[in-house]
Structure 1
Amino acid sequence: TIIDDSLKYLRIMFAGIPVVMAYNILASILRALGDGRTPLYAMIVAAVINVALDLLFVLGFHWGIQGAAAATVIAQLCSGIFCLLAISRVEVLAFTREDFKMEGTLCLYLMKLGLPMAFQNAIIAVGGMIVQFVVNGFGVLFIAGFTATNKLYGILEVAATSYGYAMVTYVGQNLGAKKIDRISKGMRSALIVAMVTSAVIAAAMLLFGKVVLGCFISGSPEDVAVTMNIAYHYLAIMSVFLPILYVLHVTRSALQGMGDTLLPMASGIAEFVMRTGTAILLPVFLGEEGIFYAEILAWIGADVILVTSYYLRMKKMKALQSS
């Protein structure tokens, strides 16, 4: 029954992939213009619609898992339409019939930029599935604790993702204007803000993590206590090392803003190797404790490549500008 319901959910979500792609493209265009508010408003609208439709489809129409999936796709469609309406008001982006003619050179260039990023995200996702496979061998309570903490991963990462979007736009604009020094200054400022933000989020998780985790954990008092210890221990480890993740997002996005998607892809491969290698090998020596460091070492592996690549690329660009 679980497999059947999962397949129903996946089929509807996969059918909605064009909707997700449309939103991502439209939101990226807006961010490239320096408009980060409209994509945010679009996601707020989508979240409200999603909740409302979940209640209507699941509780009202009794459509179950299929209703929840349909609500998500419709909400994402609304967010895409919201961004499209905003773009239609930008004069320089007004569509004409000629704009829909395919240009081979431009399509190839966009594929060259996009495919490495797609591959990077794919291998990171596969690495996550391998880690989950390893986790599944440690018992129900460990799975519950590990999963509860992963539900908070979005909160830990949310600001890092936002800074990443900002850096792609900022670096791309300054590179186009040939203001290389401004890229360096912006990078330093972004890293400082990222470090402060990650420290604040980490402190909040360490202080109030158990309260938040309690929203995702249920069962008998004994099971809840064991699950909570596992979940909070994992959360504490990720919180302490959170600055590493923020460096990853800022640096990777800076390189992407320079039009370099190959090195970020290489960092994704490093993440995959470190995450899966740690998940498979460390538990042999450290038991359950070893699995908690798979994510941390994946971040470190990516950072080594990204920070080094950024430094060398900036050094090269500054040399070319001064010559």
Structure 2
Amino acid sequence: MSSPSFQSVELLIKLPAHYKHILALATPLILSNLTVPLLGAVDTAVMGHLPDPAYIGGVAVGGTIFSFLFWGFGFLKMGTVGFTSQAFGAKNLPEQQAAFLRPMLLALLFGLILILLQAPLLQLCVTLIDGSAEVQQLAFQYSTIRIWSAPIALSNYVIIGWLIGKGEPKLTFILQVIINSVNIFLDLIFVLEFDWGVEGVSLATVIAESIGFAVGLWIILKKSDFFIKQIDWQNVWLRSHILALFTVNRDIFIRTLCLIFAFAYFTRLGAGMGDEILAANAVLMHFLYFSAYGLDGFAHAAEITTGHAKGRNDNKEFRNAVQASSVMALLTAAVFVILFYLSGQLIVNLFTDIPSVKSIATNFIYWPIIMPLISVASFQFDGIFIGTTRTADLRNAMIQSLIIFLISTWLLVPVWENHGLWLAMSIYMAARGITLLRYYPALARSIGSKSVEAKSVKT
């Protein structure tokens, strides 16, 4: 009789080639993605062991602010993945170069604008979250330091997006591990050793992002042929490609703002229920973050492979990529549910030792436990539509989902309070997948057709 380990290897060997390819891409991407929520978990944990739940709330609100400010520019990563994967699929070197340089220049420009406008922006964001006075003060302290990393943080989106689009998951993993390991190490030193509180958490992030930027540029310079050949600057500034970039980025920007608004509104409604509910929800959201970033590994694999398929206009390759990445993502979502069910209480205890926060988190723990299965379709479709730069559909589906979420909160929260809030979030994550499913058949038909419809560059 074969041993279990031998049977696992034998099963892996029998996997179709496109499944093996997806697994090879997704594994390092999953590992690198999981370092991001791990960092957020450390931020919450070091604050959760301070005596007041306002510290957890302050970091949660500060993190939400920069999710809004920085991930509002998440198109710099997602758009870069789409254009880069298609350029590599088509083996177009000038466009591979341009796919990096165009968004990098935008990232530096947008980052400088955020620094110049920091005073009114931060004050507005802190006020809109509407936590207690102490939470608002701590969030503002966090934000006034973190804002200075804006040009570097946005540039890192481009670097990571280009490496993912190029099909370099191992290099992406190395870069993410460096950034988040440095951040976690400095978190522990600044907060637990130097007692710098939320300012220490924020400063650790700024330093880690700066180191990541330097390492990322070094990786691109040394580990690829990007600058070996002369850069075609005329192609970089080609008007039609610039317009396509802005159109795709506009669509992703609107989509991302809707996504961030939903999570910010979730945080705001939780804050209105008190600091302890806010802190408990912040702890429970890390279940969602861990599963989301893990499942995003398969979404990124879908971005790479569907983008390459579109670059080659190969429908069979496209459908194989969708099938393999989706099946593996669904199985992984089920694994997350089992892990969360078995270790949920332990995870909560690791985040905080405040009895009231632990008790509240335990009362609502089943919502984030089931969330991976509810949300897996939304992540997969995001990857497919980003990889093929079908961003108008992505934008429209997200707007529809946000409307569904807002209606759900208005109907459910007044009746069931925090349970209603979590139910509304579950409905929102399901709606993201269902609304994109409506657009998928047209996308699938467009790949491999004689005249590929460029919906992503329509207004």
Q: TM-score range by the shorter chain?
A: 0.7 to 0.9
Q: CA deviation at 1:232?
A: 1.6
Q: How far has the Cα of 1:130 moved from its partner?
A: 1.8
Q: TM-score scaled by structure 2?
A: 0.63
Distance of aligned partners of 1:235 and 1:120 in 2 relative to their CA distance in 1, 3 Å threshold: same
How far is 1:78 from its partner? 1.5
Please, which of 358, 377, 384 is the counterpart of residue 247 of structure 1?
377
Question: Deviations for 1:166-210, whole angstroms, at most 9, x for unmatched residues?
Answer: 111111111111211111111111111011000001111011111
Among 163, 166, 170, which residue is 1:33 paired with?
166
Residue 343 (structure 2) aligns with:
208
How is 1:71-150 mapped onto 2 (pairs within 5 angstroms)?
71-89=204-222, 90-94=224-228, 99=233, 102-150=237-285
**Structure 1 209/305 Cα, relative in aligned 2: closer, same or farther at 3 Å?**
same
Instruction: Give the structure 1 partner of residue 148 of structure 2.
Output: 15
Q: What's the CA shift for 1:98?
A: 6.1
1:159 counterpart (294, 300, 304) = 294
Return 307-316 or 199-208, whichever deviates more. Answer: 307-316
Which AA in structure 2 matches 1:245? Answer: S
1:259 aligned onto 2:389: yes
Moved more, 301-310 or 102-111: 102-111
> What residue identity is the alignment partner of 2:271?
N
| RMSD (Å), alpha carbons | 2.6
TM-aligned CA deviation for residue 93 of structure 1: 4.1
Count of aligned positions: 317
Counterpart-to-counterpart distance in 2, 1:217 and 1:54: 16
Seq. identity, %: 16
Give CA deviations for 1:249-269 in whole Å, capped at 9, x if unaligned. 111211111121111112221
Unaligned 5+ residue runs, structure 2? Answer: 1-133, 453-459
Distance 1:72 1:84 in 2: 18
Aligned equivalent of 1:308, options 428, 438, 441: 438
Aligned-residue offset at 1:44: 1.0
Distance (whole Å) between structure 2 residues aligned to residue 144 and residue 263 of structure 1: 35
Q: Is residue 134–residue 280 contact of structure 1 (8 Å, CA) maintained in 2?
A: no
**Deviation at residue 132 of structure 1 after TM alignment:** 2.3
How far has the Cα of 1:57 moved from its partner?
A: 4.2
Given the superposition, is the C-alpha separation of residues 295 and 228 from structure 1 closer, same or farther in structure 2, using an over 3 Å criterion?
closer
Residues 64/94 of structure 1: CA separation in 2 closer, same or farther (3 Å cut): farther
Q: Distance in 2 between matches of 1:228 and 1:189?
A: 36
> TM-score under structure 1 normalisation?
0.88
Structure 1: 5+ residue runs without aligned partners?
none
Corresponding residue for residue 219 of structure 1? 354
Contact 2:337 2:370 in 1 (8 A): no
Structure 1 position 189 matched with structure 2 position 324: yes
SS at match of 1:185: helix
- Give the alignment partner of residue 365 of structure 2, picking from 232, 255, 258: 232
Match for residue 276 of structure 1 among 406, 414, 423: 406
- Within the alignment, does 1:174 sit opposite 2:309 as a pair? yes
Please give the secondary structure, in 1, of the residue aligned with 2:364.
helix
Residue type of the partner of 1:276? L
